[in-house]
Amino acid sequence: METNLRNRLSEIIGEIKEISLLEEQGCTSEVRKIITKGETYLLKSSFNERYREWLKQESEVLKKLKNENIIPVPKYYGYIEDHESNHVIMSFENGISLTSSLKKANTIEKKKSLIQSFGQLLHQLHETKLIHELSTSDDWLEYQLNKAQQHLEIGNVDGTLELLTKLKATVPNPVKQTMIHGDCTTDNVLVIDGIASMFIDVSAMTVGDPRYDISLAIRKFKDNEEFIKAFYTGYTRYKVTTEEHKFNEGLYEFF
C-alpha cells in the first residue's frame, strides 16, 4: 500500500499491523482487511470516477447510520479522498455474502433457511422508522426514473430508450415509502453464523419503494417456488406482483 494512504489510515485507526486483500471481492471496489493492535477493519477502495462517487455516497450513509444504531450495517470509522481513489474505513464483520453462502450450502433446507432469514432481515428494514436524513426525494420512484433518463443519456447502462418509455407508461400504483436498501441483491447482504444479518454496499440506502428491494432480492431465484415461499415466510408484509417485479427488473437495467 502506498505510504501516503497508509499514513492517513494510521491517523484514523492507529498503528497498522497487517493488511490483506479479501478472498471475496466486489465488482466496483477493492476490499482489504486491516488489523491494528486492538481492532479489525475493512477498507473499501474505488478508483473509477463513477464508482468513487458511489463510495463517497456509501460513506455518507454509513456515517449517518453510525449513531442511529437501528439498521444493521458495518460501523463507520472514516473516509479518505485521494487524487485517484476514494476509501471508506468500516468495521470488519465476520461473515460472507449471501451469494457465497447460498453456493456453499449443500442442502435445499440450508438454502431455504438462509433465504428465509434474508426475508426477515428485509422485512425488519422495511418496518424501521424512517430516517429522513437519508431521504433523497419525496417521490423516490419519480426520482429514480429521472436518474434512469440521465444514465441513459450518458450511455453506460443496459437499458434502452424503448424500455424507459415503457416503464414510464407502466409505473405501478404508489405504496407507502419505507427505508430501502436500494441495491438489495444477495451480493449485498452478509451472512453471519448461518443467518442473513447485515446489509453492506449501502450507497443507495434511502427512503423509497420497498417493492424495488423485494424484486432485486428474489431476482436470482424467482422461478424456484420453494425458495420464493421461504423468502415470503420471512418477509410477510407484502408480495410483489408479476407486473411490479417486471417493472423493477426493468428499472434496474438503468443502474
Closest distance to Mg ion from the beta carbon of 5 (Å): 22
Report the run of H or E that residue 77 belongs to, with start and end: strand 76-81
Q: Which stretch binds ligand ATP (CB under 6 A): 86-94, 101-109, 110-118, 170-178?
A: 86-94
State the binding partner of 29 from ligand ATP, Mg ion, none, CB within 5 to 8 A by kind.
Answer: ligand ATP
Closest distance to ligand ATP from the beta carbon of 29 (Å): 4
Q: Would you say 41 and 13 are in contact if contact means Cβ atoms under 8 Å apart?
A: yes
Contact with ligand ATP (CB under 6 A): which of 13, 31, 61, 251?
A: 31
Size of the site for ligand ATP (CB under 6 A): 20
**DSSP for 22-67?**
-SS--SS-EEEEEEESS-EEEEEEE-SHHHHHHHHHHHHHHHHHHT
Residue type, 192: I
Instruction: Provide CB contacts within 8 A for 130, sequence distance 6+.
Output: 177, 178, 179, 207
Contact with ligand ATP (CB under 6 A): which of 9, 13, 29, 113?
A: 29
Chain position whose Cβ is nearest to ligand ATP: 26
Q: Which residues bind ligand ATP (CB under 6 A)?
A: 22, 24, 26-29, 31, 42, 44, 74, 90-93, 96-97, 187-188, 200-201
